[in-house]
């Protein structure tokens, strides 16, 4: 039997780091992903295909490939890393900021794609109706787009969050294994397995499994809508028209 005392302080710190990383990443993803998805859903340009392919790359690319290129970019020898160091005075590689930026790239398609699909399905009909009733574009977004596509926003945020929690390759490449900074649950689990500490590994893996299941279950419950039954009476409004003479 696994006892709760098996939870190490470092595991709890890793859990906290993971949740913090996933939360910050999800917020950034929703802020960036929503306008990007809107743009992709509405644009007719041929460049759309290129942007869509770039956004979808993390789905097919091994995380270590993305992690490798980001590690190079984040190093002080290259422009992004240099710029970051100039602005913040700190090194970007192997920092919490680095794993958040890496996660944003890695989880971007999981947020953009469901939102893009929702915006495409929404079409322009409802938005045009809103405009004809005097609603501005911002007004239309918050009073029509957001509530009508609410389920897709919840799905996008959930997928973004869950995918970030499950990251391993990128975090290892650009974050390393610094407790309280870049050591996340998946890396802590890997450490326990490497050390043949299967009891602790079981505890972490099981907790992640059950936690993920509960979160997804809650989200599906939140998104569940009762099927609508048409209860319209048969005696519809009708007029009596006298037949022709």
Binding site for other proteins (CB under 8 A): 125-126, 128-136, 139, 143-144, 147-148, 228, 230-232, 236-242, 244-245
If the CB atoms of residues 27 and 144 are measured against other proteins, the closer one turns out to be 144
Cβ 115 to other proteins, closest distance in Å?
Answer: 17
> Phi/psi at 160 (nearest 5 deg)?
-60, -45
Cβ 136 to other proteins, closest distance in Å?
Answer: 6
Cβ 166 to other proteins, closest distance in Å?
Answer: 32
The number of beta carbons lying within 10 Å of the beta carbon of residue 47 is: 8
CA distance 2 to 193: 16
Cβ 137 to other proteins, closest distance in Å?
Answer: 8
Cβ 31 to other proteins, closest distance in Å?
Answer: 23
If the CB atoms of residues 120 and 128 are measured against other proteins, the closer one turns out to be 128
CA distance 13 to 73: 28
Cβ 142 to other proteins, closest distance in Å?
Answer: 12
Which single residue is written with the structure tokens 């992640």? Answer: 208
CA distance 75 to 71: 6
If the CB atoms of residues 54 and 129 are measured against other proteins, the closer one turns out to be 129
* Among 184, 137, 169, CA closest to 61: 169
If the CB atoms of residues 46 and 237 are measured against other proteins, the closer one turns out to be 237
Integer-rounded Cα radius of gyration of the chain: 24
> What are 203's two structure tokens?
């505890």
If the CB atoms of residues 60 and 241 are measured against other proteins, the closer one turns out to be 241
If the CB atoms of residues 5 and 125 are measured against other proteins, the closer one turns out to be 125
If the CB atoms of residues 20 and 42 are measured against other proteins, the closer one turns out to be 42
How many residues belong to the chain?
Answer: 245
Cβ 72 to other proteins, closest distance in Å?
Answer: 46
């Amino acid at each position: 039997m696994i006892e709760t005392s098996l939870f190490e302080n470092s595991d709890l710190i890793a859990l906290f780091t993971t949740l913090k990383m996933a939360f910050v990443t999800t917020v950034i993803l929703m802020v960036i992903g929503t306008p990007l998805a809107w743009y992709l859903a509405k644009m007719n340009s041929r460049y759309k295909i290129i942007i869509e392919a770039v956004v979808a790359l993390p789905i097919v690319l091994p995380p270590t490939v993305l992690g490798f290129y980001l590690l190079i970019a984040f190093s002080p020898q290259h422009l992004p890393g240099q710029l970051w160091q100039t602005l913040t005075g700190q090194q970007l590689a192997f920092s919490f900021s680095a794993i958040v930026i890496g996660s944003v790239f890695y989880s971007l398609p999981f947020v953009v794609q469901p939102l893009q699909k929702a915006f495409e399905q929404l079409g322009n009909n409802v938005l045009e109706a809103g405009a004809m009733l005097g609603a501005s574009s911002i007004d239309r977004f918050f009073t029509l787009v957001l509530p009508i596509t609410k389920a897709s926003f919840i799905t996008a945020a959930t997928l973004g969050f869950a995918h970030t929690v499950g990251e391993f390759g990128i975090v290892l490449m650009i974050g390393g294994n610094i407790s309280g900074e870049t050591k996340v649950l998946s890396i802590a689990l890997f450490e326990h397995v490497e050390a043949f500490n299967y009891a602790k590994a079981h505890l972490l893996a099981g907790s992640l499994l059950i936690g993920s299941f509960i979160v997804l279950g809650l989200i599906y419950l939140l998104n569940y809508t009762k099927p609508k039954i048409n209860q319209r009476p048969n005696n519809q409004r009708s007029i009596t028209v006298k037949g022709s003479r």
